[in-house]
Structure 1
Amino acid sequence: MSEFETLLVDERPDRLAVTLNRPQARNAINLAMVRELHEVCGALERRPRLLLLTGADGVFAAGADIAELLDRGRDEALQGINSRLFDRIARLPLPTVAAVDGYALGGGAELAYACDIRLATPEAVFGNPEPALGIMAAAGACWRLAELVGGSVAKQVLLGGRRLTAAEAERFGLVAEVVPGPELAAHAHALLDRMAKSSPAALRLTKLVLGAPGAHPVADDLAQAVLLESADKRERMTAFLERRRSS
């Protein structure tokens, strides 16, 4: 993978650990970062692996780059510059984890919402202040946040300007766990380690079925049919039975 201007990438056999790295701008998401995150997505689509996203210097991402947003108009909105990226991240084949320290605001919050699981430090803050700047949270927050925390809390954030502390985010189910800052990376990698022990095909199909709209018993059946025929399933279940017999 090429050298990046706005990202630090730790590439491992089963995962990519990606750090948003624009500390001088509190890791604000600019066009260069969008392009580089698309490159990361391309790598994960070609060779599916787990993804960990975090931010440098005690901030996840304090929004989109306001200087760039100021010059955007209707045509840029219709291109869905951030929304297309976040949707691509949400649809990556294998699970994604956001490890959030400090601010996750505006586009930074929407990037975290697009991940499958979020961990946070006590200093984490989630919010969408876009209406105060004369725009809306148009990169997924208006529907992803409601799915994650319910319509009432989403309205408090998106309409009322409420910022969620880490404790509130955990209580509402937005965050899976709050851990001390020095332990965040270790906890995130431990979560990925647990995932990496599972069947990649099972994780991939489970994620597809979870993301399918509405009730989907047929999708469940078809996905399970694929997995029940796999050599991986046979090896894993045989090993489980052998361990039980020997215990």
Structure 2
Amino acid sequence: MAEWTTLLVAESADRVVVTLNRPERRNAIDQRMVDELHALCEDLERDPRILILTGSEGVFASGADIAELRERTAADARRGINATIFLRIAELPMPVIAALDGYALGGGAELAYAADFRLGTPRLRIGNPETSLGIIAAAGALWRLPQLVGEPLAAEITMAGRVLTGEEALAAGLVSDLFEPGELLAGAHALADRIAKNDPLATQYTKRVLRAPLGDHPRAEREAQAVLFESPEKHRRMTEFLERRKR
């Protein structure tokens, strides 16, 4: 976009770092942010790179913007405004890393669930209190969260309003590592560095097959491998490996 108003976007050759930037609203996700995230996805679909998502001023995202949410109608619910952008983020060709600090609640948590990797801090607070506001978590929590942490804990989070601390999220496998707040972004970059060392095309196919429906396996693996077996990059990397072994 010509100008970002709710996001801070830093681009490099192999990754894009996006900071949710509505600190006066604890980075609540409003329609403008949704629109800007769609524009970002359009760019990353055209030019696949790793995406790191984080939040400004010690908060990932406190949820959807309640002032907007209060005015939404049944027609808006059926449009799936947040669900659609979170699905698009989940389906980006390259991995998405969510670096979570402070509050990641409601829609903010659902955005985090859509990522491939989640890193946190000890002061992380993540959960889905939507039923306290008279709605449900309708942007992915009710089907992504059981896959991530199991149905009993997902039920406690989405129906009983349990909010996990960083340590609890780590123990549940919802985040894969914890960092002190000042080291969180460096931790996300270190993970991105490990991903970036691998063949981007192989990474893209791995993500695609990992997310394929169960009924698509093992055909999906065979078809992906068939493409990669003909890849010049596969030949180059394997040749380098064999030459190193000779030394």
Smaller-chain TM-score range? Answer: over 0.9
Verify: 1:223 aligned to 2:237, yes or no: no
The residue number in structure 1 matching 2:199 is 199
The whole-number CA distance in structure 1 between the counterparts of 2:229 and 2:171 is 37
The residue number in structure 2 matching 1:16 is 16
The residue number in structure 2 matching 1:108 is 108
Counterparts in 2 of 1:10-49, with a 5 A limit?
A: 10-49=10-49
The whole-number CA distance in structure 2 between the counterparts of 1:190 and 1:245 is 30
The residue number in structure 2 matching 1:175 is 175
TM-score (norm 1): 0.98
Q: How much has 1:240 moved relative to structure 2?
A: 1.0
Mark the runs of 5 or more structure 2 residues left unpaired by the alignment. none
The whole-number CA distance in structure 1 between the counterparts of 2:105 and 2:242 is 48
1:122-155 residue CA offsets vs partner (Å, 9 max, x unmatched): 1111110000000000000000000100001100
Verify: 1:212 aligned to 2:209, yes or no: no
Q: How much has 1:197 moved relative to structure 2?
A: 0.7
Amino acid at match of 1:221: R
* 1:40 aligned counterpart, secondary structure: helix
1:188-207 residue CA offsets vs partner (Å, 9 max, x unmatched): 00100110111111011111
Q: How much has 1:2 moved relative to structure 2?
A: 2.4
Verify: 1:148 aligned to 2:125, yes or no: no
Q: How much has 1:243 moved relative to structure 2?
A: 1.3
The whole-number CA distance in structure 1 between the counterparts of 2:103 and 2:2 is 28
1:141-196 residue CA offsets vs partner (Å, 9 max, x unmatched): 00000010000110010011101111111111110100111111111001001101
Counterparts in 2 of 1:88-103, with a 5 A limit?
A: 88-103=88-103
* 1:43 aligned counterpart, secondary structure: helix
Q: How much has 1:244 moved relative to structure 2?
A: 1.6
* 1:54 aligned counterpart, secondary structure: strand
* 1:122 aligned counterpart, secondary structure: coil
Mark the runs of 5 or more structure 1 residues left unpaired by the alignment. none
Q: How much has 1:39 moved relative to structure 2?
A: 0.5
* 1:64 aligned counterpart, secondary structure: coil
Identity %: 59
Verify: 1:7 aligned to 2:20, yes or no: no
The whole-number CA distance in structure 2 between the counterparts of 1:23 and 1:212 is 36
The whole-number CA distance in structure 2 between the counterparts of 1:241 and 1:165 is 46
CA RMSD in angstroms, aligned pairs only? 0.7
The residue number in structure 2 matching 1:233 is 234
The whole-number CA distance in structure 2 between the counterparts of 1:142 and 1:207 is 22
The whole-number CA distance in structure 1 between the counterparts of 2:232 and 2:163 is 48
* 1:2 aligned counterpart, secondary structure: coil
Moved over 2 A (4+): none
The residue number in structure 2 matching 1:74 is 74
